[in-house]
Amino acid sequence: MTGEPRWLHGLRQSQVWRSVFRSGVPVLPRERHAVVVSNVFFHVHPLRMRAASLRLRRTFCLGGLSFLAFLVLTASGVLLMFHYRPTPEHAYGDIQDIANVVPFGRLLRNPHRWSAPAIVILVIAHMARVFHAGAFRPPREFNWVVGVLLLVLTFFLSFTGYLLPWDQLSYWAVTVGANMAAAAPVLGHLGPLALAGEDSDVRALLLGDRAVGASALLRFYVLHCVLVPAAMGLLLAMHFFRVRRDGGVLAKY
Amino acid sequence: MTRDLEEAHLLEADDPRDAGRRRVLTRIGWAGLSMLAVASVPALFRFLRPRAWRDRGETVELGPLEEYRTSTVSARWVQRHGLWLVRRAGRLVALEARCTHLGCTPRWMGEQGGFLCPCHGSRFSDDGIPLNGPATQPLFRLAIRVEHGEVVVDRSVRAALERAERDRRFYVSI
């Protein structure tokens, strides 16, 4: 580039730089194409997008906002994990410490705690928008199914996360929820057509014991932090890919 | 280098007599993998089942009968055994401390308050009848007896109020 200082020019010609950045700043469409397809972070995005698809009233950005909330939850959640121990002795105290002792703890905890209902509302609004726009019609039916699965997982994340503060609300909410699960058909020991006994129905597997206790806390923690987010990540990848493949948000539904 | 590869290839040329053996070995391989996959399902299920299952069918000893002569409702064993001992009209009964709505543990709020459930606000009188709230069924009663002057409750035997009032297994005179 003309006008750049000598040292910068030298830097740009160095082997280290050229091994990381294989081309210069792209200008031509062909150059820009090359950069996108040869970069692992760029290549999961579309090559180009129509500027008009940013028009607000088409989607109100609800899907995007939901994903933003998901990212906020993931980032804040991972950082919260550094200061939280999922045992009955420590759980409540650790969260108090995060809120009152740990530097910037409240800045992590509060967005996490509030993004949870936010993502539920956004996801439901997104679902309503998709429905009203008819964006579930063929060939998009399967993506709607994936979306419903994502909805269920979102609810389950909320439910499992709710136990982790280990306060009165947590304990009784999960007691009630688990007792309702016991009344489910087939999988619950109190429901119709029950297949499993009290010690092996879905309630027993969720709680890991007769009642909510240390086992339940640990299981919910693993579900909340590892299993369900991993499943959601997989489904989200499928969900986004299908939207793009079917023409993006500007397409005719 | 290329010559060696070509020769190696020639040495491995397919002999039709090997086809049958390869087919058998392939099928055995797939069968083995499938069995592993199928076996992993009940294995996972057993892995996830609760490790310890405290037996609720216990008979518990709750101290001498004398200790309950003065109280109306004793919440002494709620935490440990999930029951209240209620003295009423000359009888001592064991009420199960489990709300009949969705299973939370109510709390005794005194004569004026009755049993109040923290989850959805169900309220029960001192003999377990629901006064208000989402609960519609009375609290269950547990089998109770006196052995050598000691109150003994069998938590695995429970009955609804109507039957318990008439069944000698569910109350003791005091």
Q: For residue range A188-225, what is the model confidence (pLDDT) as tens digits?
A: 999 899 898 888 899 999 999 888 999 999 999 999 99
- pLDDT tens, B17-30? 888 888 999 999 99
Question: Would you call A200 and B51 a contact, using CB atoms and an 8 Å cutoff?
Answer: no
Q: How far apart are CA A227 and CA A23, in angstroms?
A: 39
Give the Å distances, CA to CA, from B145 to A109, B62, B64, B157. 52, 11, 11, 12
- C-alpha distances out from residue B25 to A195, B20, B30, B38, B86, Å: 39, 9, 9, 20, 72
Beta carbons of B49 and A200 less than 8 Å apart: yes
- The kind and range of the H/E element at A112 are helix A105-132
The confidence score (pLDDT) of residue B84 equals 93
Distances A84 to A42, A216, A226 between C-alpha atoms, Å: 34, 16, 15
Q: What is the mean pLDDT of residues B105-126?
A: 91
Interface test with A, best of B44, B56, B102, B105 (most A CBs within 10 A): B102
Give residues with Cβ within 8 angstroms of A220, minimum separation 6: A86, A160, A161, A163, A164, A174, A206
A251 within some domain: no
| HEC assignment per residue over chain B | CHHHHHHHHHHCCCCCCHHHHHHHHHHHHHHHHHHHHHHHHHHHHHHHCCCCCCCCCCEEEEEEHHHHCCCCEECCCHHHHCEEEEEECCEEEEEECCCCCCCCCCEECCCCCCEECCCCCCEECCCCCEEECCCCCCCCEEEEEEECCEEEEEEEEEECHHHHHHCHHHCEEC
Let me know whether A111 and A130 are in one domain: yes
Q: Are residues A43 and A96 in the same domain?
A: no
Share of chain B above pLDDT 90, in %: 48
> Could you tell me where the DSSP H helices lie in A164-207?
168-182, 202-207
Query: Which comes out higher in pLDDT, residue A28 or A49?
Result: A28
Contact call for residues A202 and A184 (beta carbons, < 8 A): yes
Buried b (16+ CB within 10 A) or exposed e, A201-224: bbbbbbbbbbbbeebbbebbbebb
Tell me: pLDDT of A168 over 60.
yes
Q: Which of A24, A48, A72 is the last residue of a domain?
A: A48
CA distance A154 to A233: 11
**What does the pLDDT read at residue B174?**
83
Mean pLDDT over A146-157 rounds to 98
User: For the residues A176-180, what does the mean pLDDT come to?
Assistant: 93
Nearest chain B Cα distance for residue A176, angstroms: 5
Supply the DSSP symbol for A5.
-
Question: Taking CB atoms and an 8 Å limit, are B102 and A207 in contact across chains?
Answer: no
For residue A210, the chain B residue with the least C-alpha distance is B53
Question: B59-173 belongs to which CATH class?
Answer: mainly beta
Q: Is B41 on the interface with A (CB under 8 A)?
A: no
- Residue B15: partners with Cβ closer than 8 Å, 6 or more residues away: none
Residue A166 and residue A175 in contact, taking contact as beta carbons nearer than 8 Å: no
- Count of beta carbons in the 10 Å neighbourhood of residue B75: 15
What b-and-e string marks burial along B98-119, b requiring 16 or more CB atoms within 10 Å of the CB? bbbbbbbbbebeeeeebbbbbb
Q: Is the pLDDT at B9 greater than 60, yes or no?
A: no
For residue A172, being part of any structural domain is answered with: yes
A119 contacts A154 by C-beta, under 8 angstroms: yes
* Residues A15 and A76 reside in one and the same domain: no
pLDDT at A130 over 90: yes
Q: With respect to residue A252, please indicate whether it lies within any of the assigned structural domains.
A: no
| Whether residue A12 is found in the same domain as residue A133 | no
Amino acid B55: pLDDT: 64
B80 in reach of chain A (CB within 8 A): no
A140: tokens are 């998009």
Number of domains composing chain A: 2
Cα–Cα distances (Å) from A210 to A102, A114, A193, B53, B87, in that order, read: 35, 31, 21, 7, 29
Are A209 and B48 in contact (CB < 8 Å)?
no
Q: Are A19 and A67 within one domain? A: no
**Beta strand B83-88 with B73-74: parallel, antiparallel or unpaired?**
antiparallel
CB-nearest partner of A172 from B50, B51, B119: B119
Domain ranges of chain B: 2-48, 59-173
The domain of A157 spans: 58-245
**What amino acid occupies position B51?**
R
pTM of the model: 0.81
Q: What pLDDT, on the 0 to 100 scale, is given for residue A125?
A: 97
For residues B170 and B144, the answer to whether their CB atoms sit within 8 Å is yes
Say whether pLDDT at B107 is over 70: yes
Same domain membership, residue A182 and residue A92: yes
Q: Which amino acid is at B50?
A: P
| Mean pLDDT (chain B, rounded) | 88
Asked whether the beta carbons of residue A210 and residue B50 sit closer than 8 angstroms, the reply is yes
In a domain, A3, yes or no: yes
Question: Is the CB of B104 less than 8 angstroms away from the CB of A176?
Answer: yes
In a mutagenesis test of the A interface, which of B104, B117, B120, B155 is the best target, namely the one with the most A β-carbons within 10 Å?
A: B104
Are A140 and A229 in the same domain?
Answer: yes
